[in-house]
């Protein structure tokens, strides 16, 4: 089945540690996104990538880093510089049709819940 796989589903981190969240998709989508969701908040964009080897900061990129070495993969690293990393992280992808004005839907993974101890 085509889709997006995020791992791990649950992750615990000690303060001062970097952690990496995995996101893999087999939908052949060019664009991939990382969102953060906090209770009572909407989804906020961390980073997005429209094509391999290119990515852009979203609204809340500070304390996070990403890479896009393969079309299928868009890992997110939560660094020790992120002051409040406890949150639910969602990875999404979209077909490149939006570049031609066809909006298209976002396909989301099941999320990764990060807790800082």
Residue 49: name the closest of 29, 19, 63, 20 by CA. 29
Sign of the CA dihedral with 23 first, then 24, 25, and 31 last: positive
Q: What DSSP state is assigned to residue 83?
A: S
Q: Which one of 19, 31, 76, 114 is in contact with another protein (CB under 8 A)?
A: 31
Q: Which residues pair with 37 in a beta bridge?
A: 88
Q: Which one of 43, 52, 60, 61 is in contact with another protein (CB under 8 A)?
A: 43
Which residue is it, tokens 């819940």? 113
Q: Which one of 1, 40, 83, 117 is in contact with another protein (CB under 8 A)?
A: 40
Neighbours of 94 (CB within 10 A): 20
Closest CB to another protein among residues 50, 80:
50
Q: Which one of 13, 22, 27, 45 is in contact with another protein (CB under 8 A)?
A: 45
48 binds another protein (CB under 8 A): yes
Residues at the interface with another protein (CB under 8 A): 4, 6, 31, 35, 40-45, 48, 50, 58, 90, 92, 98-99, 101, 103, 105-111, 113
């Amino acid at each position: 089945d085509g889709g997006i796989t995020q791992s791990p589903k649950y992750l615990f981190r000690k303060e001062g540690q970097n952690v990496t969240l995995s996101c893999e998709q087999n939908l052949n989508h060019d664009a991939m996104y990382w969102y953060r969701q906090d209770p009572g908040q909407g989804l906020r964009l961390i980073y997005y990538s429209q094509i391999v080897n290119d990515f852009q900061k979203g609204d809340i990129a500070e304390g996070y880093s990403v890479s896009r070495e393969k079309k299928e993969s868009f890992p997110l690293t939560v660094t020790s510089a992120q002051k409040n990393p406890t949150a639910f992280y969602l990875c999404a992808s979209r077909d490149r049709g939006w570049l031609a004005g066809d909006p298209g839907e976002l396909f989301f993974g099941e999320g990764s819940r990060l807790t800082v101890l």
